Amino acid sequence: MGTVVVLAAQVGGAKLADGLYRLRGMDLAVVVNTGDDYRHLGLAFSPDLDTTLFTLAGIASATAGWEPEGETRALQGMLKRLGGPDRPLLGDKSLAAPLLRAEGLANERRLTEITLDFCRRLGIEALVLPMSDDPVRTNVLTDDGAMTFQQYYNELGCDPAVRGLQYAGAAEARISDEVLDALHAEDLEAVVIGPANPYHGIRPILELNGMRELLRKRGAPVVAVTPVVGGKALQGSAGKMMRELGREPTALGAATEYRSLADGFVIDREDLAFAEGVRSLGMRVLAVQTVMRTIDDRVALARSVLEFARSIREARALEVE
Amino acid sequence: MGTVVVLAAQVGGAKLADGLYRLRGMDLAVVVNTGDDYRHLGLAFSPDLDTTLFTLAGIASATAGWEPEGETRALQGMLKRLGGPDRPLLGDKSLAAPLLRAEGLANERRLTEITLDFCRRLGIEALVLPMSDDPVRTNVLTDDGAMTFQQYYNELGCDPAVRGLQYAGAAEARISDEVLDALHAEDLEAVVIGPANPYHGIRPILELNGMRELLRKRGAPVVAVTPVVGGKALQGSAGKMMRELGREPTALGAATEYRSLADGFVIDREDLAFAEGVRSLGMRVLAVQTVMRTIDDRVALARSVLEFARSIREARALEVE
């Protein structure tokens, strides 16, 4: 068994990362999207990092995976009373990380150091790594104009039709040393792309200067998991965004986003009809249950993904012979 | 009836301000100490301003008057879990004002504007005014060295012996236009000094450039209320501080701090023995119940204080004739 790297965003990505963590412990590095990070009231919000941390620490809410279990909104009530903004809705517990993160950044600490410190405090043995210490901001180009993903999501409730996305800063952002180390691990076994919105969840990571080239060059199997099942995005806004961008809102549409990058694509059993289409994109296909309702579901999917990656390695070895 | 100005700090000052507010409504200006303000985790804490706001809005805790009723500590728990500081203990609701205040200050708004905005939002008709928009920091000189009041109070629990105090910035700080307007009101009826620690509660206000001269020049009666009853400070650290500074920890000791400034001094009925001593400092004396356990107590004390001020004005008029 070697090192596994998973690219993660949103609740789906965090859940699969958790499944992998339960199988591999410290031999896992989770590279997390920071393109949706934003500043609000001076605090430094990193939604995907916090979702991942809460999930791997086992303290995420079962029903609202992006916040801790038993979240309360006492601060939000007083904030409103004092004339503060209604949105984004702030949770009391959820505010701790953005508060400490802003303080750390103000003291010239790197986002990676701050995040690894949170990992240690939460008892997480895997490495949870921001994709970069440099700022990347995903901008959504809509019929109402260009805006940050945060504005699109929190202020406008994903309402305006999306015409494109832009990853400001990605071309200049440096992949952090910690992410480079993980991807250069001699025993790198697989790179997994978690089930998350391809446009604002995973793409910002892939747009980092040199990331696609590095993944191709390393040669470990790259396996992506569909964020769409039966024509529905499992979490959030992927389906709507795909339609508006002129893509088919299906597992096949999602697979298209990883063409020429992923060696294998995992679709749901329900979507067997798309298997042939995905194969025609040049990817191997695995069909399993991808919906993760329980912890066991996470572990089962993680195990399937790793076995799929191994089968791809073995098939390649045969081809070479 | 004219305009009343009360200098306030801590819970005692806020309670008397509330009594005056219930009698006078919008004809009251509360000038609040900001010498204990501090920055923590990037937020702008103004303990005395928030205590006053919560109290006048009728939402302060009955048992912990410096925070809102029904305060919770969900954020503090998560902060600790993530390796954040233990102290000062942060309340969920209590964090809203420091968060919005830091944001307002970062956007170049004056502390006074921000505070008046909070007043409007909370439905407070009186003016709650920071003593200045310029920073003043009360430093406590102790056997363990010089420190901010915040460090002395929150981090060291008022433990080190106090040898002196210093009001950094006070001599240069400008009394705000709003405070000047209140003190220059043509119908100024009385200036009340609330029951608060004379050293770090009231003195920072009096140390502002020109404040003592202005109070003397205006000629409206200045009436101070004792923060010490029966040898005990009603709130906080006044008694200990007085002893360590070589003052008698009594109503007489407290009165000494306002010599040549206050025309009248209100002591508790329990402390009638000190009446003659206070008179010998050149102040008139009123002895009433000063402990404010109920809202009625606040109003009764406020009424007594205003009647006392009127009697001083009338006595002066007789002296002139």
B72–chain A nearest CA distance, Å = 7
CB-based contact (8 Å) between B217 and chain A? no
C-beta separation of A224 from A258 below 8 A? yes
User: Is B75's CB within 8 Å of A82's CB?
Assistant: no
Taking CB atoms and an 8 Å cutoff, what residues of chain B touch A103?
41-42
Q: Kindly identify which residue of chain A lies nearest to residue B93, measuring between CA atoms.
A: A75
C-beta separation of B83 from A100 below 8 A? yes
User: Is B121's CB within 8 Å of A75's CB?
Assistant: no
| Best residue in A69, A71, A92 for a mutation probing chain B (most B CBs within 10 Å) | A92
Taking CB atoms and an 8 Å cutoff, what residues of chain A touch B96?
75, 78-79, 81-82, 84
Mapped onto helix, strand or coil, the DSSP state of residue B88 is coil
C-beta separation of B162 from B141 below 8 A? yes
CB-based contact (8 Å) between A23 and chain B? no
For residue A143, the one-letter residue type is D
Q: In CATH, what is the architecture of B3-320?
A: 3-Layer(aba) Sandwich (3.40)
Domain boundaries, chain A: 3-320
Q: pLDDT tens digits for B207-264?
A: 999 999 999 999 999 999 999 998 776 666 778 888 899 998 999 999 999 999 999 9
**How many A×B Cβ pairs under 8 Å?**
104
Residue carrying structure tokens 């390796």? B83
Taking CB atoms and an 8 Å cutoff, what residues of chain B touch A39?
none
Please count the other Cβ atoms lying within 10 Å of the Cβ belonging to residue B230: 11
The partner residue sitting opposite A100, judged by closest CB among B74, B84, B102, is B84
Taking CB atoms and an 8 Å cutoff, what residues of chain B touch A96?
75, 78-79, 81-82, 84
List, as one string, the DSSP characters of B258-296. Answer: TTTT-SEEEEEGGGGGGHHHHHHTT-EEEEE-----SHH
A135–chain B nearest CA distance, Å = 20
Mean pLDDT, residues B159-167: 94
B135–chain A nearest CA distance, Å = 20
Between A246 and B71, name the one with better pLDDT.
B71
User: Is B96's CB within 8 Å of A106's CB?
Assistant: no
CB-based contact (8 Å) between B300 and chain A? no
User: Is A96's CB within 8 Å of B81's CB?
Assistant: yes
What is the pLDDT of chain B when averaged over all its residues?
A: 95
Q: Among A221, A251, A223, which Cα is nearest to A238's?
A: A251
Q: Among B298, B79, B267, which Cα is nearest to A102's?
A: B79
pLDDT at res. B155: 85
CB-based contact (8 Å) between A86 and chain B? no
CB-based contact (8 Å) between A107 and chain B? no
Taking CB atoms and an 8 Å cutoff, what residues of chain A touch B72?
72, 74, 92
User: If you count DSSP H runs as helices and E runs as strands, how many of each does chain A have, helices first?
Assistant: 13, 14
Taking CB atoms and an 8 Å cutoff, what residues of chain B touch A83?
100, 117-118, 120-121
User: Is A100's CB within 8 Å of B75's CB?
Assistant: no
Q: CA-to-CA distance for A108 and B301, rounded, in angstroms?
A: 52
For residue A91, the one-letter residue type is G
A116–chain B nearest CA distance, Å = 11
Taking CB atoms and an 8 Å cutoff, what residues of chain B touch A41?
99-100, 102-103
A4, A6, A12, A18 alpha-carbon torsion, rounded to 10°: 40
**DSSP H stretches of helix in A126-228:** 149-150, 177-183, 203-206, 211-218
Q: CA-to-CA distance for A135 and B224, rounded, in angstroms?
A: 55
Q: Kindly identify which residue of chain B lies nearest to residue A79, measuring between CA atoms.
A: B96
Q: CA-to-CA distance for A253 and A267, rounded, in angstroms?
A: 11
pLDDT at res. A76: 97
Low-confidence ranges of chain A (pLDDT < 70): 233-236, 320-321
User: Is A42's CB within 8 Å of B103's CB?
Assistant: yes
User: Is A100's CB within 8 Å of B82's CB?
Assistant: yes
pLDDT at res. B160: 92
pLDDT at res. A236: 66
CA distance between the termini of chain B:
23
ipTM above 0.85, yes or no: yes
Assigned token pair, B307? 């009647």
CB-based contact (8 Å) between A79 and chain B? yes
pLDDT at res. A235: 62
High-pLDDT (> 70) share of chain B, %: 98
A77–chain B nearest CA distance, Å = 8
pLDDT at res. B239: 82
Between A154 and B274, name the one with better pLDDT.
B274
C-beta separation of A122 from A97 below 8 A? no
Mapped onto helix, strand or coil, the DSSP state of residue A101 is helix
Q: pLDDT tens digits for A70-125?
A: 999 999 999 999 999 988 899 999 999 999 999 999 999 999 999 999 999 999 99
The partner residue sitting opposite A78, judged by closest CB among B43, B82, B93, is B93
B280 burial level (CB within 10 Å; 0-12, 13-18, 19+) = exposed
C-beta separation of A32 from A130 below 8 A? yes
CB contact set of A301 (below 8 Å; sequence gap of 6+): A16, A19, A225, A266, A288, A289, A290, A292
* H-helix or E-strand spanning residue A30: strand A28-32
pLDDT at res. B320: 67
Where does the pLDDT of residue B321 fall: very low under 50, low under 70, confident under 90, or very high at 90 and above? Answer: low
CB-based contact (8 Å) between B86 and chain A? no
Q: CA-to-CA distance for B257 and B267, rounded, in angstroms?
A: 14
B131–chain A nearest CA distance, Å = 21
User: Is A75's CB within 8 Å of B68's CB?
Assistant: no
User: If you count DSSP H runs as helices and E runs as strands, how many of each does chain B have, helices first?
Assistant: 13, 14
pLDDT at res. B234: 62
